[in-house]
Structure formats: structure tokens, C-alpha cells
Homo-oligomer: A and B are copies of this chain.
Amino acid sequence: MQVPLLVNDFLHRAVRLYPDKIAVVDGEQRYSYDAFGQRVNRLANALAQLGIRKGDRVGIVSPNSHFFLESFYGTSLLGAILVPINYRLKPAEHEYILEHAGVQVLLADWEHTGELDALRPQLPGVTHWIAARDEGDGDGKGEGKDHTPDGWQDWNELIQQASTAAPDTPEIDENDAVSINYTSGTTARPKGVMLTHRNCYLNAYNMIAHASLRHDDVELWTLPMFHCNGWGGVYALTAMGGTHVVLRAIDGRRIFELIERERVTFACMAPAVLRTILDFPNKNSSGNEEFRIETRPRFMVAGAPPPAAFIERLEQELGFEFIQIYGLTETAPILTVSQPDHYTDVEDWNRRSHAGVAAIGVEVRVLDDSDQPVPKDGESVGEICARSNVIFAGYWEQPEQTEAAIRNGWFHTGDLAVWDETQSIHIVDRKKDVIISGGENVSSSEIEDVLYQHPAVLECAVIGVPSEKWGETPKALVVLRSGNVPGQDEIIAHCRERMAHFKCPSSVEFVDSLPRTATGKLQKFRLRDKYWKGSERKIG
């Protein structure tokens, strides 16, 4: 028997089997799976009444919320396509995405209605504007919270008028798109990544398999849901009937409070969030502890390889468990997983920070420019390429970009890495971030790892800047811990003690902060712009 693999299965299972169990905790709101399922049905029925049909696009601009979770299933039940949009983008970027994706109905968090209103004249295709807003949960601020602004339909009022009955679901193929996730724009204009039901279904199984997700798991949403559908957690955790604990914004105290109170067992995050957590005081299980944490949460990290010291601190100081994964929006996202295994000791923090090995059903190779595997020697750099059912169906209305990314049967990630005989992959840089200095490929992440070993370095980024002599040379941009004032020479000397001279930064600049995407990816192109104005950067 063949039944389409639809992410709707996951919701149906949880609602059928665990109606009384808490599905979502969001501030003061607590929804059981039954209540959650009813809200999803109402949303789907309301969207259908607004004219949304199979294949139509519904956009959402929102931080994490129960509304956001509902929007995934409220659209997928109709065979419609959700376009989850990073709320931190600039208005021009919102406009671009909403227009490019052909969004008909726009869902927006109350805090973002104002900035979106300004786009109305340019977005005649958006026929319905719906604002998500709960009353009386005590964490509201700003006027958008008090009332639904003019020109917006109130989400709760809208769905209140719709039926809780299961919506009419059309015939959906497992290869139909379920979401279009715009890439975060590290290097270029956002592209719309079409993820299919099958992509997301199998990625959810891999998340369950490799993070050992269980029925009694409680996920704290430290990760923005717009980021590749929460790496699939929206689907995977629901499939197991686990509980979603929403976190609207990153806040160390709030995170520890929720871990304690909701007995959190699982969370996904970028390294920057992990740092926030590690830097929060009074969290240790010894000393003057403020929180009694009785669970042993598993933290799944991706977005960048974290410093090895972060992993050691998480596991040794906090007693939590660390899992590194690697993937892209285009890969639904999980490609590789790094956990203690046959070749990886628990305390091999450095190895555990690497991208790791292929997940089930994923074939990963590190290829040279002729799509031939580079030697598995831990040194030869190539591009990570993958072949799998988790790889996206293509870029929305950008077939040439799709052909450029998927060629010779392999998806080309644009990430540069080495691999070793155990097939373990270690990312050395974004393809476009490699610094080629005097003909040598220099990995900026390697330099950053060394910089992080300096006690004064809070954050850092290494970029290539123009050099008369070498063509390009590494420059370090460093955010210092407060109270620390080492000079440039001290930092460079620190590097020279630990690395070949040609790899060391030739200059250091101290900055207040580094530009990051909402998901914590460094936007190196923004750092570089300043130095390369008027020059043409030579790459590879």
C-alpha cells in the first residue's frame, strides 16, 4: 500500500492519541493537542474561506509563538504552502519575499504589523492581512498588543468564526511543496527554498532517530521556527506527541526558568544562543544555584561549528548533552550529525564540534571542482555535496539557480570542508569565505577557533582583506569581554604561537558587535564590504 508521506500525519497522530496532553506552552497559554488541533482546523477552514487553495502561498512574519506553530499545519492541511519569513529582515526584504513568493494571505505577529503596513502599496497581491495577538498574557508591550490595528483581521476572531471540523483536504502528493523557506541571505539575495512533504517527513524521522526524540520530550523553542521549520522540530516533536515550549526571544534567565519549570529535555540553537546560555550566571548545579533542573536536556546545535570549549562547558559544567548537526535550508535541513559514536569519544570536544557523519538516507561527499571526492585526509578542502530525499525540490521561480545548485545528481552546498577516513566532515568555511593568501587556502574558522582560546575574546570573525603583497590577507574583528583591553599585538602573538604564520591575522580591529542573521550566522559579506570597496575580490 502506498500512502503519501504528508507532514499532516504527525499532527493527526498527536491529536488522535494524546488529546489531553499539552502540545504547546506559550507564556500563560497552554494548549492541549486537542485544543491545538482545533485551532489548526479553524485556521485551515478560515484560510479556505479566504480563498486559499492547494498550492497557494501564505506568509508569516513572527517570532516564535503558538500561532506560528499552528500556521504550519493550518496551511499544510489545505495543501497550501507556508512561507515563514524572518521577522528581523528589513522592510525591503520583506517586500521582496512577499512579492516574489506571491503571498496571498499574510499572517503577522502583533509587534510587526506596523512595519508591514508600510509595504501595502507595493503588495497588491496580498489580499488578507491577519494579526496574531493574545490578550492578557502579561508579556505584551507596545500598542499593537492592545488592539488589532486597522486593516488587519484579528487571528483569534477570524478562527473563532470557523469550524473546528477537519477541513476538506485535497489530494496532496508527497512531492508537493509544503513550505517555501527563504534563505537567510548570508551571501546574496534570498532564494525561496521549496521543501516538499517528503523532504520534511524524512527529515523529521532523521531528527527523531539521531536526537532520540521520545514521547516525553519537551522542546524549548530557542530556535526561530522560521528557520527551516525549526530544523524539522515542528514535525518531529509533534510526531512523537512531545510538548513544544515557545520562547519568543532569547533571554538567559527566561531559558533557565523554562527549562526548570517545564522540565525541558531538548532544544535547538545556534552557537550564539549556546554562548548566551553558558554565560548566564548562577546556573551551575554546584554553588549558589538558582534553578533546580532535574532533566538532562539535549542541545542540538547548528548554523556554525561552536568552539570546542562550549561543548565541554555544556556537558561538564551544566551536565547537559550536546549534539552538533549540519545542514542547510535546502536540505530540510539535517545532512550530518556529530555525536559520541564508535570513532568519537565523549570528551573529544574538538571532534564533536565538527559537522560529523551522514544521517540515515543521506549520501554526503566532499568534492573538488570536477565533482571528484577530495582525499579523506583531514586536510584537502572540497565542497560538501549531498544526495538525499531531504534535498529540496528547487528554488521558487528560479530554475537556473536550482540547476546551478543541483548538478551531476548532487546538491552543492557551497560549504567548504575537509573529511577524514571515518567520513567525518569538518566545515572550514563558506565557499566564498575562504581566504586565499599568497596562493594558500586559509580557513577563517580555523583562525577564529584559535582566537576564541584567548580569554579576552568574546566574539570574533576573520575575513580576507586586500593585501598588496598576498592578494588577500586575514583580518580579525574582535568583540572583547568587558574589562579586557589587550592590544592588537597581543592577539596576533597569541595566534602566532598556535598557527603557521601565513594563517595568522595581519591586523586586528576591536568592534562592539558583529553583524549576524537572525539565526546567528555571521554576515561576513557585510564586514568585508568596507574593506573591498573599489577592489575586486579574487576568489578560487
Which residue on chain B has the smallest CB distance to residue A362? Answer: B13
**Separation in Å of the A78 CB from the closest CB of chain B?**
20
CB distance from A421 to the nearest CB of B (A): 9
1/0 contact trace for A3-27 toward B, CB 8 Å?
1010001101100111011000000
**Partner pick for A1 among B241, B357, B411, CB 8 A cutoff:** B411
Tell whether, in the assembled complex, residue B198 and residue A205 are in contact, meaning their CB atoms are under 8 Å apart: no
With A341-B215, A342-B20, A358-B16 given, is the CB distance from A388 to B240 under 8 Å? no
Indicate whether A9 sits within 8 Å of B339 (C-beta atoms), given known contacts A2-B175, A209-B208, A422-B17: no
Contact A209 B2 (CB under 8 A): no
Number of chain copies forming the complex:
2
Min C-beta distance of A184 to chain B, whole Å: 21
A1:B392 contact, CB within 8 angstroms: yes
State whether B9 touches A360 (Cβ < 8 A): yes
Contact A389 B342 (CB under 8 A): no
CB neighbors of B among A342-392 (8 A): 342-343, 357-358, 360-361, 363, 387-389, 391-392
Q: Are B215 and A13 in contact (CB under 8 A)?
A: no
Residues on the B chain within 8 Å of A358, using CB:
13, 16-17
Contact B9 A361 (CB under 8 A): yes
Q: Within 8 Å CB of A12, what residues of B?
A: 363
From A10, A13, A343, residue with most partner B Cβ within 10 Å: A13
Q: Is the CB of A360 within 8 A of B17?
A: no
Known: A9-B360, A205-B209. A1 touches B239 (CB 8 A): no
Interchain CB contact under 8 A, A241 and B209: no
A475 to B245, CA, bound (A): 55
Residue A212 CB within 8 A of the other chain: yes
**Partner of A342 from B16, B239, B241, B388 at Cβ < 8 Å:** B241
**A423 at the B interface (CB under 8 A):** yes
Query: Is A406 interfacial (CB 8 A cutoff)?
Result: yes
Q: Is A214 an interface residue (CB 8 A)?
A: yes
Residue from the set A2, A240, A241 with the largest chain B CB neighbour count within 10 Å: A2
User: In the complex, which range does the number of interface residues on chain A fall in?
Assistant: 35 or more
What CA separation (Å) do A16 and B360 show in the bound complex? 12
The binding surface of chain A is classed by DSSP as: loop
Tell me which residues across on chain B come within 8 A of A5, comparing CB atoms: 361, 389
Given A360-B9, A388-B3: A215 and B17 interface contact (C-beta under 8 Å): no
Q: Which residues of B contact A205 (CB under 8 A)?
A: 205, 208-209, 360
A16's closest neighbor in chain B, by CB? B423
Interface residues of A in 235-274 (CB under 8 A from B): 239-241
Give Cα A13 to B208, complex, Å: 17
Task: List the B side residues contacting A387 at CB < 8 Å.
Answer: 1, 3
- A394 — nearest CB in chain B belongs to which residue? B1
CB closest chain-B residue, reference A361: B9
Chain B residue numbers with a CB within 8 Å of A18 are 341-343
CB distance from A426 to the nearest CB of B (A): 15
Give bound CA distance, A9 to B357, whole Å: 14
Interface residues of A (CB under 8 A from B): 1-3, 5, 9-10, 12-13, 16-18, 20-21, 175, 198, 205, 208-209, 212-216, 239-241, 339, 341-343, 357-358, 360-361, 363, 387-389, 391-393, 406, 411, 422-423
- 8 tightest Cβ-Cβ pairs between the two chains A and B: A1-B391, A205-B205, A21-B342, A208-B209, A17-B357, A215-B341, A239-B360, A18-B342
Q: List 26 A-B contacts (CB under 8 A).
A: A1-B387, A1-B391, A1-B393, A1-B406, A1-B411, A2-B198, A2-B389, A10-B360, A13-B361, A16-B358, A17-B357, A17-B423, A18-B343, A20-B342, A21-B342, A205-B205, A205-B208, A208-B208, A208-B209, A209-B209, A212-B212, A212-B214, A215-B339, A215-B342, A239-B360, A241-B341
Given contacts A215-B341, A241-B341, 11 further A-B contacts (CB under 8 A): A1-B388, A1-B391, A1-B406, A3-B387, A13-B361, A16-B358, A17-B358, A17-B422, A20-B342, A205-B209, A209-B209
